[in-house]
Chain A
Amino acid sequence: MSVRLISLKGVFLGLLVLCSNVFFAQDAQTALFMDLAQQHTRLNVSSRPAAGYFGMPLLSNFRMELGNSMLDPSNWMLQAPGASEASLNLNAVRESLSGRNDLSVNLQWDWLSAGGFSASRRSFWSVAVSEHIQSNLELPEDLLLLPFTGNANASVSGSGALDFTSLSFQFSHRREYAGTWQFQWNEKLSSGVRLAYLQGLSFAGTRDNTTQWAVNPDTYAWTVQGGLGLDVAGLPDADGEDSIEATDYLNAKGNRGVAADFALQFKPSDRWTGFVQVSNVGQLDWNTRAQNWNISDTTMVFSGVSVENVGSLDSWPADSLENWLESQSDDWETAFEIDTTRSGFTQRLAPKWSVGLSLEVLNTSHQRGTLGAWGRSNGTGFFDWRLSYNHKFNERLAVSLSRGVLQSRKGTWGLAVCMNAGPLAIFVATDHIGIAQGSRIVVDQNTGGVGVDQDAFVVPNQAHTMQIQAGLTWRFGWRNEKKTRSNSMARLDDSSFIGSSRSPNAGHEGHPGAVPCSAPGSWKD
């Protein structure tokens, strides 16, 4: 058959645009063991940065991430060298749609952040005000592959039912007021706790999706089970309210919650360090402009026309089939009727636990190198992991290179750089090195005899996860650092090992030569 692409072009290009222009925020895991950058502490709240800091408003920490396991346009097309046009490879489309399919977009930035050591240097305190915008759309594999499999493909029959339960959407916008306390109990054990007050601005999300479509392998009868809820808060009312004043939106008062992270770090020897963390424990109650739509979990069976009395067939009027279809439609409409309420609801955060381990493999008078391993689970099957090598060239420059997997997607290489320019600590990290490698798609549109318009799009080649984190902070202690730079490398053992939980002068309290306040990161700087 010879179907041309034009009929699919609109949808296709729309998806390309979507995946080419949205980003998702998540702390770069590559920088987890990079203590030179204060931004690493979110992934391990028991780890303290090398120095106190003051985050540049709006610039101290900016994180974006796009998670995309659904759209991979650069791999869907084929264009032979010298050919004038590309073709859409359906086999590649089908392959890429197998498995998890989601688009997740997250954006996060800190309005304000600061941190510093206590006088005893056993505690490190930090505060941050940050904005979080998160969205996620997941489309079921069985739904996306439906044109390829149909409802009765052997692979479908084998699985029992077309499973649409993973169909979900969630958007949330919240502000966090967080404080973190890290405490060193002794040379081997330290802990951290991060508490945040959450102010919700808007939310829209599905819940309780039980949708499945089963085809009886014997009779082909359809059994459709369906239940789905949608909760919305903070957004314009569905009953005619067109918009919300920006000030009202940004100062929404009714949506409150708390969140907490807890971590313990243990350093059994000078070279080994390990930690365990539970994060994202808490909930957020949404009450402002709350709206709910709910379809109760219902099962309906469609078996076609049912004839109980064969003899009645002769007396069926001509419009019987039409009436029957209308009746069926009414039955299904009633069964899956949408119930609307206006009740506040609670968004439970998704707690995650993680573990990390680092091993110092290089320690010279000038440089230090560590190997790091980290893993995280949300308890529902995802397991993020990353292995990294972290190299600290001196007190001004550190680099990390990593390889890992996020949300069970394809593995990616990561890179993080943190360097000091005087008091300014510049931090850039990504868990996806190939972020900037892309393909250019040029679409010719016939304008009806007048000519041809061209629309060009650049899409990433490796679109599974695109993520970047960057920040600019004012680092305390840079003057003392300059003075003691000649001795700094000699103090590396004591001041700033990779992923250290120890303060720069840890172990030197009580020693005659101890100069805790002169170490980088002191509030007194």
Chain B
Amino acid sequence: MNRYVNQSLRKTANRGGLPLFFMGLLLTSCIREEFNLNENSPIVGDVQPSWAVPLGQVHLQLNDHWDVLDSLQIEPDDVDGMLQFVQPFEVFSSAPLVLDPVQEDFTFDWLLDEAMAQGLSSFPAGESDSFGASVNWSWGVSEMSSLDSLWLSDGDWNAQVTSHLPMDLEVRISTDNILANGAPLELFLTLDYTGTLPVVASESVSLDGRSVHFLNGTDPRVPIDWEVEWLGTGEEVNAGEALEVTVSIADATIDAAFGAFATDVAWPFEMGQSIPVMEGFEHGSVHFADPQIHLWMSNSSGIPVGVEWEELAFVQDGITTYMTGPDIEDFPIIASAGLPGEDAETYYVIDNSGTTPSLTSVMDAMPDSMHLDGAISINPEGSSSHFILETSRIALEGELRLPMNGWASALQWNDTLDVDISEALEEAVQPPLDWQDVAAVTMRLRCENALPVGVRVQAIFLNGFGIAIESAAVNGSPWTAIEAGSVSNMGSPDAPGFGRVLNPEAKNIDWVLDREMAQDLIGQDCRQVVVLAMMETTDAANNQDVRFYPEDGLLIELGVRVDFDITWNP
């Protein structure tokens, strides 16, 4: 078999020239080219990678920052929650009237005529008898045209009896119109005759907690009852001798007075209030569509109180604008409390509809302060059945409310930052890369703005001599950093929701630092940058009113993209 195999191999080899050729082609190594590489072998070609990195996001929703809003005196209103600037103020807070302590006295006597003197002279020694009578003590409160009763505290009720009669006396003085817990007031005085005349005795009782009930309110008087009991001594009593009784009230504080108050009582008030929110705004840059002055008047007395305006004015740089109009001229009477311990509230709003000039036009002038002068008049309509307590207060306080409903434009902020931009740019790109390899750096700002206000920014780069080199702007206009949200124009400006942001406005805004600009900034030794920021509400140029709500917010997402354009040349 070996022989046959060998023969076959030989024949196959002879006939198999073609396959052997193919096999040779298949297996023979063929080095077609050679490349020499070393440490310095260059790279050629170009690449244009772009890298994008998110830097961060800021979510600003107004109602997440009540601490900030509070510090700015901004709060939601009670109707639909629209934000408003609130400047509180107090016009006055005092007692409507101050009633002086009672200082009253009343003297009456029992003067003996001939008959009475003879009777007493003949009165047996050791025997006793008595005599009584009643007198009216007329007194009142000067501010009251009619006095029904008083509640007193402190003070005393004093009684003094002076006797010129040569006998021992027991005197009782009482009244059913001065009560303490329902019990009438009474005093007992004892006069012991010792041979010397006159004999004087006095007593007093505290009036704290006692009430005085007058008869005939328009001519108030208090009935005083007195009774004398004597013990005969057998001595002669001359006609013309008298028994003198003096009663008085000293330093009695009036806790409450009931009756009717006079109409001729008045006192003035004056108030000035700065409006700091207006500071820094230029005339015409901010427009409030619906400013309001809200007034709360409280009265814990039973006396209606009138307010007579002398002046309701706003001042801007020394120029005073006086407000008139029905809202001021037809100012309501401060209602009285129905019962002691109650507090009557009177609420009143002054707005554009009742003022001349309108509050809006006055606010457009950016006033720096507000002034309120006038007078309080007691019981202006002359009604009756009033009361006043020692604790009674009337107060007038208010708020200047500037609902964030309106427009603002050209609100500017600027600053000059000392930053060596050239050095920063040079260090930002490290070897082996340089700015020639960077096509552009794009700062991407994506805002979903549900606020009806936008921001535009312009950066001006200055060299070491303060000369402008470049400006980061679009066609010379400030770069729009945040686009204002679109607002509703449905209905009238007074309609709810008018001027409110409908949907967040999502926009991408790019600021591009391209290669040429970067190289220019590096080459010209940029040392400073002036940043100018401008805020403007939606379509402020057309006086579009917008409204701010706590739910409004702003989502800012910041990213950076670097576009490289790298070319390797041998």
* Chain A contacts to B: CB under 8 angstroms: 1-6, 8-9, 74, 77-79, 84-94, 146-154, 156, 215-216, 218-222, 302-311, 393-394, 396-397, 399, 415, 417, 419-424, 428, 430, 433, 435-446, 458, 461, 468, 482
Residues of chain A lying within 8 A (CB to CB) of residue B51: 150-152
Q: How far, in angstroms, from A440 to B44 measured CA to CA in the complex?
A: 20
Does B503 lie at the interface of the complex (its beta carbon under 8 Å from any beta carbon of A)? no
Q: How far, in angstroms, from A302 to B56 measured CA to CA in the complex?
A: 9
Q: Is the CB–CB distance between A423 and B561 below 8 Å?
A: no
Q: How far, in angstroms, from A304 to B5 measured CA to CA in the complex?
A: 79
* Chain B contacts to A: CB under 8 angstroms: 1, 4-5, 7-9, 12, 15-16, 18-19, 22-23, 25-60, 64-65, 67-68, 432-434, 436-437, 444, 446, 506, 508, 557-561, 564, 566-570
Q: How far, in angstroms, from A461 to B33 measured CA to CA in the complex?
A: 9
Q: Is the CB–CB distance between B36 and A422 below 8 Å?
A: no
Residues of chain B lying within 8 A (CB to CB) of residue A148: 47-49
Q: Is the CB–CB distance between B53 and A439 below 8 Å?
A: no
Specify the chain A residue showing the minimal Cβ separation from B562. Answer: A150
Q: How far, in angstroms, from A200 to B180 measured CA to CA in the complex?
A: 115
Q: Is the CB–CB distance between A74 and B432 below 8 Å?
A: no
Q: How far, in angstroms, from A64 to B476 measured CA to CA in the complex?
A: 68
Q: Give the interface centre of A74, A84, A444 by most chain B CB atoms within 10 Å.
A: A444
Q: How far, in angstroms, from A93 to B44 measured CA to CA in the complex?
A: 11
Closest beta carbon of chain B to A168's beta carbon, Å = 25
**Known interface pairs A397-B19, A421-B5. Does A4 touch B559 (Cβ–Cβ under 8 Å)?**
no
Q: Is the CB–CB distance between B44 and A88 below 8 Å?
A: yes
Q: How far, in angstroms, from A101 to B67 measured CA to CA in the complex?
A: 58
Q: Is the CB–CB distance between A304 and B27 below 8 Å?
A: no
Residues of chain B lying within 8 A (CB to CB) of residue A417: 19, 22-23
A88's partner among B1, B41, B506 (CB-CB below 8 A) is B41
Closest beta carbon of chain B to A4's beta carbon, Å = 5
Excluding A306-B57, A421-B8, 9 further A-B contacts by CB distance (< 8 Å) are A5-B41, A88-B41, A147-B47, A153-B49, A153-B50, A309-B64, A397-B16, A421-B12, A422-B8
Closest beta carbon of chain B to A10's beta carbon, Å = 12
Interface of A is mostly: mixed
Specify the chain B residue showing the minimal Cβ separation from A439. Answer: B33
Q: How far, in angstroms, from A433 to B22 measured CA to CA in the complex?
A: 9
Residues of chain B lying within 8 A (CB to CB) of residue A443: 37-38
Residues of chain B lying within 8 A (CB to CB) of residue A307: 56-59
**Known interface pairs A218-B508, A304-B55, A433-B26. Does A89 touch B44 (Cβ–Cβ under 8 Å)?**
yes
Residues of chain A lying within 8 A (CB to CB) of residue B39: 4-6, 9, 444-446
Q: Is the CB–CB distance between B49 and A304 below 8 Å?
A: no
B42's partner among A4, A147, A220, A393 (CB-CB below 8 A) is A4
Residues of chain B lying within 8 A (CB to CB) of residue A304: 53-57, 557-559
Closest beta carbon of chain B to A353's beta carbon, Å = 30
Specify the chain A residue showing the minimal Cβ separation from B71. Answer: A311
Residues of chain B lying within 8 A (CB to CB) of residue A438: 29-32
Residues of chain A lying within 8 A (CB to CB) of residue B15: 393-394, 396-397
Q: Is the CB–CB distance between B44 and A153 below 8 Å?
A: no
Q: Is the CB–CB distance between B557 and A303 below 8 Å?
A: yes
**Known interface pairs A1-B432, A91-B46, A440-B33. Does A435 touch B57 (Cβ–Cβ under 8 Å)?**
no
B26's partner among A1, A86, A419, A430 (CB-CB below 8 A) is A430
**Known interface pairs A4-B39, A397-B19, A443-B38. Does A153 touch B9 (Cβ–Cβ under 8 Å)?**
no
Q: Is the CB–CB distance between A3 and B432 below 8 Å?
A: yes
Q: Is the CB–CB distance between A90 and B559 below 8 Å?
A: no
Q: Is the CB–CB distance between B65 and A85 below 8 Å?
A: no
Q: How far, in angstroms, from A461 to B34 measured CA to CA in the complex?
A: 11
Q: Is the CB–CB distance between A310 and B60 below 8 Å?
A: yes
Q: How far, in angstroms, from A18 to B436 measured CA to CA in the complex?
A: 36
Q: How far, in angstroms, from A4 to B32 measured CA to CA in the complex?
A: 26
Q: Is the CB–CB distance between A4 and B41 below 8 Å?
A: yes
Q: Is the CB–CB distance between B54 and A220 below 8 Å?
A: yes
Q: How far, in angstroms, from A219 to B444 measured CA to CA in the complex?
A: 7
Residues of chain A lying within 8 A (CB to CB) of residue B561: 152, 220
Q: Is the CB–CB distance between A90 and B37 below 8 Å?
A: no
Closest beta carbon of chain B to A150's beta carbon, Å = 3
Residues of chain B lying within 8 A (CB to CB) of residue A458: 29, 31
Q: Is the CB–CB distance between B53 and A220 below 8 Å?
A: yes
**Known interface pairs A1-B568, A151-B51. Does A221 touch B559 (Cβ–Cβ under 8 Å)?**
yes
Q: Is the CB–CB distance between A219 and B433 below 8 Å?
A: no
Q: How far, in angstroms, from A307 to B61 measured CA to CA in the complex?
A: 11
Closest beta carbon of chain B to A486's beta carbon, Å = 14
Q: Is the CB–CB distance between B26 and A428 below 8 Å?
A: yes
A219's partner among B31, B38, B557, B566 (CB-CB below 8 A) is B557
Q: Is the CB–CB distance between A87 and B570 below 8 Å?
A: yes
Residues of chain B lying within 8 A (CB to CB) of residue A3: 43, 432, 568
Specify the chain B residue showing the minimal Cβ separation from A9. Answer: B37
Q: Can you list 23 pairs linking A and B with CB atoms under 8 Å apart? A: A2-B42, A6-B39, A78-B44, A86-B35, A87-B42, A90-B43, A91-B44, A91-B46, A93-B45, A147-B47, A151-B50, A152-B52, A220-B444, A304-B56, A304-B559, A306-B57, A308-B59, A393-B15, A415-B25, A417-B22, A419-B12, A422-B9, A440-B33
The 4 A-B residue pairs with the shortest CB-CB distance, nearest first, are A90-B45, A220-B559, A150-B49, A305-B56
Q: How far, in angstroms, from A74 to B31 measured CA to CA in the complex?
A: 11
Residues of chain A lying within 8 A (CB to CB) of residue B43: 3-5, 8, 87-88, 90
Q: Is the CB–CB distance between B37 and A440 below 8 Å?
A: no
Q: How far, in angstroms, from A305 to B1 measured CA to CA in the complex?
A: 86
Residues of chain A lying within 8 A (CB to CB) of residue B4: 422, 482
Specify the chain B residue showing the minimal Cβ separation from A146. Answer: B49
Residues of chain A lying within 8 A (CB to CB) of residue B67: 311
Residues of chain A lying within 8 A (CB to CB) of residue B33: 74, 79, 439-440, 461
B31's partner among A396, A423, A439 (CB-CB below 8 A) is A439
Q: How far, in angstroms, from A461 to B29 measured CA to CA in the complex?
A: 12
Specify the chain B residue showing the minimal Cβ separation from A420. Answer: B12
Q: How far, in angstroms, from A428 to B27 measured CA to CA in the complex?
A: 10
Q: How far, in angstroms, from A292 to B332 measured CA to CA in the complex?
A: 86
Closest beta carbon of chain A to B136's beta carbon, Å = 74
